[in-house]
Structure 1
Amino acid sequence: MANRKRHKSTLARAEKIKALTALHYEAGNQSRCYKAVWRRWIEPEFGICYCTYMRMLGLDPGTEHRQYSQPSLFNDL
Protein backbone atom coordinates (compact mmCIF):
# COMPACT_ATOMS: atom_id res chain seq x y z
CA MET A 1 0.00 0.00 0.00
CA ALA A 2 2.86 2.40 0.70
CA ASN A 3 4.02 2.12 -2.92
CA ARG A 4 0.65 3.13 -4.32
CA LYS A 5 0.82 5.99 -6.80
CA ARG A 6 -1.83 8.67 -6.36
CA HIS A 7 -3.30 11.08 -8.87
CA LYS A 8 -2.24 14.72 -8.85
CA SER A 9 -5.79 15.81 -8.10
CA THR A 10 -5.89 13.61 -4.99
CA LEU A 11 -2.64 15.10 -3.74
CA ALA A 12 -3.89 18.64 -4.42
CA ARG A 13 -7.12 17.91 -2.57
CA ALA A 14 -5.12 16.52 0.36
CA GLU A 15 -3.09 19.74 0.50
CA LYS A 16 -6.29 21.84 0.60
CA ILE A 17 -7.69 19.62 3.34
CA LYS A 18 -4.49 19.95 5.38
CA ALA A 19 -4.53 23.74 4.97
CA LEU A 20 -8.16 23.97 6.16
CA THR A 21 -7.39 21.69 9.09
CA ALA A 22 -4.34 23.74 10.10
CA LEU A 23 -6.49 26.87 9.99
CA HIS A 24 -9.37 25.55 12.11
CA TYR A 25 -7.98 22.74 14.31
CA GLU A 26 -7.07 23.45 17.93
CA ALA A 27 -5.65 20.72 20.16
CA GLY A 28 -7.51 20.28 23.44
CA ASN A 29 -10.57 22.23 22.33
CA GLN A 30 -13.55 19.93 21.75
CA SER A 31 -15.35 22.48 19.58
CA ARG A 32 -12.33 22.63 17.25
CA CYS A 33 -11.28 18.96 17.22
CA TYR A 34 -10.77 16.94 14.01
CA LYS A 35 -14.37 15.70 14.03
CA ALA A 36 -15.71 19.26 14.39
CA VAL A 37 -13.42 20.57 11.64
CA TRP A 38 -14.54 17.74 9.37
CA ARG A 39 -18.22 18.33 10.14
CA ARG A 40 -18.09 22.12 9.71
CA TRP A 41 -15.58 22.68 6.92
CA ILE A 42 -14.41 19.53 5.14
CA GLU A 43 -17.57 17.46 4.60
CA PRO A 44 -19.67 20.26 3.06
CA GLU A 45 -16.91 21.32 0.66
CA PHE A 46 -15.33 18.00 -0.32
CA GLY A 47 -18.11 15.52 0.44
CA ILE A 48 -15.83 12.90 1.97
CA CYS A 49 -16.40 10.72 5.03
CA TYR A 50 -14.49 11.11 8.28
CA CYS A 51 -12.36 8.01 7.65
CA THR A 52 -11.23 9.38 4.28
CA TYR A 53 -10.52 12.75 5.90
CA MET A 54 -8.22 11.13 8.46
CA ARG A 55 -6.52 9.13 5.70
CA MET A 56 -5.93 12.31 3.66
CA LEU A 57 -4.32 13.99 6.65
CA GLY A 58 -1.75 11.20 6.64
CA LEU A 59 -0.75 11.62 2.98
CA ASP A 60 2.65 13.15 2.33
CA PRO A 61 2.73 14.59 -1.21
CA GLY A 62 6.51 14.98 -1.11
CA THR A 63 7.05 11.24 -0.98
CA GLU A 64 4.19 10.37 -3.32
CA HIS A 65 5.97 11.74 -6.41
CA ARG A 66 8.86 9.28 -6.20
CA GLN A 67 9.03 6.67 -8.88
CA TYR A 68 9.23 3.16 -7.50
CA SER A 69 10.93 0.52 -9.58
CA GLN A 70 9.91 -3.10 -9.46
CA PRO A 71 12.58 -5.45 -8.15
CA SER A 72 13.98 -7.70 -10.80
CA LEU A 73 15.01 -11.33 -10.57
CA PHE A 74 18.16 -10.43 -12.52
CA ASN A 75 19.52 -7.58 -10.37
CA ASP A 76 22.31 -9.74 -8.94
CA LEU A 77 23.67 -10.92 -12.31
Structure 2
Amino acid sequence: MEKRKHHESTIERVRVVRAITEQHYESGNQARCYKAVWRQHIFPKFKICYRTYLNYLGIPTPPPVQQPQQLTLWDALNESPAT
Protein backbone atom coordinates (compact mmCIF):
# COMPACT_ATOMS: atom_id res chain seq x y z
CA MET A 1 0.00 0.00 0.00
CA GLU A 2 1.31 3.41 -0.97
CA LYS A 3 2.01 5.96 1.75
CA ARG A 4 0.01 9.14 1.49
CA LYS A 5 2.00 12.35 1.18
CA HIS A 6 0.84 15.19 3.41
CA HIS A 7 1.30 18.91 2.90
CA GLU A 8 3.91 20.75 4.94
CA SER A 9 1.23 22.76 6.76
CA THR A 10 -0.52 19.53 7.78
CA ILE A 11 2.74 18.06 9.07
CA GLU A 12 3.38 21.23 11.11
CA ARG A 13 -0.15 21.09 12.54
CA VAL A 14 0.39 17.40 13.42
CA ARG A 15 3.58 18.35 15.29
CA VAL A 16 1.73 20.98 17.32
CA VAL A 17 -1.17 18.61 18.07
CA ARG A 18 1.26 15.90 19.20
CA ALA A 19 3.14 18.34 21.44
CA ILE A 20 -0.12 19.39 23.13
CA THR A 21 -1.14 15.75 23.49
CA GLU A 22 2.21 14.76 25.03
CA GLN A 23 1.89 17.61 27.49
CA HIS A 24 -1.64 16.75 28.68
CA TYR A 25 -2.26 13.00 28.04
CA GLU A 26 -1.92 10.45 30.86
CA SER A 27 -2.35 6.74 30.23
CA GLY A 28 -4.96 5.18 32.50
CA ASN A 29 -6.36 8.50 33.74
CA GLN A 30 -9.89 9.02 32.37
CA ALA A 31 -9.76 12.75 33.10
CA ARG A 32 -6.68 13.09 30.87
CA CYS A 33 -7.47 10.55 28.12
CA TYR A 34 -7.28 11.36 24.39
CA LYS A 35 -10.96 12.39 24.30
CA ALA A 36 -10.48 14.79 27.22
CA VAL A 37 -7.31 16.27 25.70
CA TRP A 38 -9.16 16.76 22.41
CA ARG A 39 -12.19 18.31 24.11
CA GLN A 40 -10.26 20.70 26.38
CA HIS A 41 -7.22 21.65 24.31
CA ILE A 42 -7.31 20.55 20.66
CA PHE A 43 -10.88 21.32 19.57
CA PRO A 44 -10.99 24.91 20.90
CA LYS A 45 -7.74 25.77 19.10
CA PHE A 46 -7.91 23.81 15.82
CA LYS A 47 -11.67 23.09 15.38
CA ILE A 48 -11.05 19.54 14.14
CA CYS A 49 -13.25 16.54 14.89
CA TYR A 50 -12.15 13.72 17.19
CA ARG A 51 -11.61 11.31 14.29
CA THR A 52 -9.27 13.78 12.55
CA TYR A 53 -7.41 14.19 15.85
CA LEU A 54 -6.86 10.44 16.06
CA ASN A 55 -5.73 10.38 12.42
CA TYR A 56 -3.22 13.15 13.17
CA LEU A 57 -1.78 11.07 16.01
CA GLY A 58 -1.23 8.23 13.52
CA ILE A 59 0.63 10.32 10.92
CA PRO A 60 4.40 9.76 11.13
CA THR A 61 6.31 13.00 11.26
CA PRO A 62 9.89 13.21 10.05
CA PRO A 63 12.44 14.50 12.54
CA PRO A 64 13.27 18.18 12.18
CA VAL A 65 16.10 18.89 9.76
CA GLN A 66 19.11 20.30 11.55
CA GLN A 67 21.19 22.80 9.66
CA PRO A 68 24.90 21.95 9.66
CA GLN A 69 26.95 24.45 11.58
CA GLN A 70 30.43 25.38 10.55
CA LEU A 71 33.11 25.10 13.21
CA THR A 72 35.23 28.11 13.96
CA LEU A 73 38.99 27.93 14.20
CA TRP A 74 38.85 28.08 17.99
CA ASP A 75 36.32 25.22 18.20
CA ALA A 76 38.59 23.01 16.08
CA LEU A 77 41.61 23.81 18.27
CA ASN A 78 39.71 23.14 21.51
CA GLU A 79 38.54 19.71 20.27
CA SER A 80 42.01 18.47 19.32
CA PRO A 81 43.71 16.27 21.95
CA ALA A 82 46.40 17.94 24.00
CA THR A 83 49.88 16.55 23.39
Pair in the same fold by TM > 0.5: yes
**Residue aligning to 2:31:** 31
Identity %: 52
Q: Distance in 2 between matches of 1:38 and 1:2?
A: 29
How big is the alpha-carbon RMSD for the aligned residues of Structure 1 and Structure 2? 1.5
Q: Could you state the TM-score of these two structures normalised by the residue count of structure 2?
A: 0.71
Off by >3 Å, runs of 4+ in structure 1:
none
**Residue aligning to 2:8:** 8
Aligned length: 63
Q: Distance in 2 between matches of 1:2 and 1:38?
A: 29
Q: Distance in 1 between matches of 2:45 and 2:2?
A: 27
AA paired with 1:37?
V
Q: Distance in 2 between matches of 1:7 and 1:44?
A: 23
AA paired with 1:48?
I
Q: Distance in 2 between matches of 1:43 and 1:2?
A: 30
Q: Distance in 1 between matches of 2:62 and 2:45?
A: 24
Cα distance, 1:2–1:51 mapped onto 2, change above 3 Å: farther
- 1:3 is displaced (CA, Å) by 2.0
> If you compute each CA radius of gyration, which structure gives the higher value, 1 or 2?
2
- 1:57 is displaced (CA, Å) by 0.3
